[in-house]
Structure 1
């Protein structure tokens, strides 16, 4: 019995989608445009000896370079990349930090940095952070000062703890949220960047999003503190373009493969803003792992019926509606017995939160079942010969780059990297 792992780049028939990657073009006038790259390479071998490979999805580039060029430079500049999947991923993040901060001369020779790229990366991060604050203000509701203050609490919580303010309302009573991992530390380069550009960027973005003079100076100062603290955590605002990286393969002493999924966004001041999403290895009890990746937000909206931001708005509206209903009932009771009305309202004080949370959690369960059925469609669409080829294996861990939408089955060829202990080979096949 053997263990194996496969990275698959699947061409999907649904919606005429072809697993296109997002490419962002920055223009000299300061604007940017988005285009989609079809037929691009998405799977790369990072270490042929172990082996370890990586697959990209969503954004096709980083610091204006294609990921293929970055991976090749990484292999050239860093001969000792680690002996496990996790260490190879960590080694890549450290390489990106040295390269983007200008401290790796050899990497800069191979991938020259454009003037102002670090400032642009930092500006995109701060712009997205202010945009997220603006969303928090809209969600907070209430009077101006109350909304601005509550939005600061929401953003502060989100940047320092896993999830966001509203998601943590869904935690079972008594549970505490987990702190976000630290992904870097302060340096003279980061401090200089903050001193030179943070105030200017915040002023411009706040004026653009809220209007000149709308946000008081003390609120801006508090937002600046949140921005500074967020630089070293794994939080990234939704507006930052992110590349999904899936690392797969074997460690030198591993007998089973594993995968590790990261999201990589901006980089500035020697810090690469990234988030570790998940990692796992197959077990004898659950020998097969199937993961699927694509244009994440769009696919989430199509499969689940709503993106996270939409869910938070629905949650707020449900809670407000239930609160209004209870208040109206309490008002009617108070006309006859004020003491009873007060007792009823105290008894059901947490009802709006609990009911709204229960409704959304039930919706998530339904969505999870729907996604499992999608995976079943992919497996059922495979030819008997292909399934039989792997039936005798102890482990098959597949990571599919494109997530199907709709009821169609996979119709186009797949490009797969088939990895066994000490060996990786390319496989081109059709699933029909």
Structure 2
């Protein structure tokens, strides 16, 4: 099929490349000329495992091209809208200006039979409004909503081999077109749910709200565990054996971040209030508050570990991205912790395998060191905040020979406490049982 993807950021660039992998001819369109130039040269403008390979392959095939001119989408019959919906500057609601601009830009080039497919995460009711806008032009095009469920670090696989496909459609023809787009995934047995616009919109935000709630729940339990001497990791293991609960996303730590969960639960709450149903999701405000509180708890641990003040002490922060296998520092708990410690007068040195340049653009006041060994040298405190594999695999004996003081805060609960204590480290996790060598 001939497909256009409007918006070539994280979602759009992956989607465009993956659609070629699935056998389609694709043009990606974006207003950012620098980004388009990079993609046209088969160079991803961000880090995502697997994307360089499929982008190179798709470009070499001649079936993928990029443009800054939306008129180049005119030959396509399926148009995916994959632009961002950030949080508004003055509130919690989603900023739909990019979505609206993409639809307005497409309207002059839509033909009878064309299908516009929303991928962006939007407040419920948006699709119905946009469907009216398209229908009002009398161009014979229709709208579908097909939410994305990508995980950064696994986005390529999640696009090519999705765990489910959700179609929000107004007629059977739109569903049939999407079936053709996703023929390979459907042939592989991917579950398919055909529903209305509102339900399709709610699936995405509800999934994010549920995951955020699960993460904040176990972090709330971590606070109780610390107050009682319990171990939240063992608690999560025991809870995870209950098939109604499950173990995934039940890891206590510094909390969630990134460009999706935080802004999506805030936008969901704002939309519910607009609908007069704010009381239905009022708990999400506490989910958000618990999540943000985790960052402060890590900072408080650092202050305690250094005897009541971090001023002038060298603190090495392991990780600046919001999760491993990504260079995304949007609403990153790791970067937030580093900035807070810097504000308290600490000599903060932050390191990360992929996120340093993006972090430097946002917070140039921090010191960054890409070489892990150099970063750790003469540290008074080590704070592990993003669970990259190199940090999970650190040898406490070897690291101990580099630092000034063997004190570590494991803000993701990914290290083995006894191994680190046996190597002479003062270890402190999040909601984990105290040991004799743990600082109180």
Using the size of structure 1 for normalisation, the TM-score is: 0.26
Greater share of strand: 1
Using the size of structure 2 for normalisation, the TM-score is: 0.26
Instruction: Return the index of the structure with the highest Cα Rg.
Output: 1
More RCO (CA 8 Å, sep 6+): 1
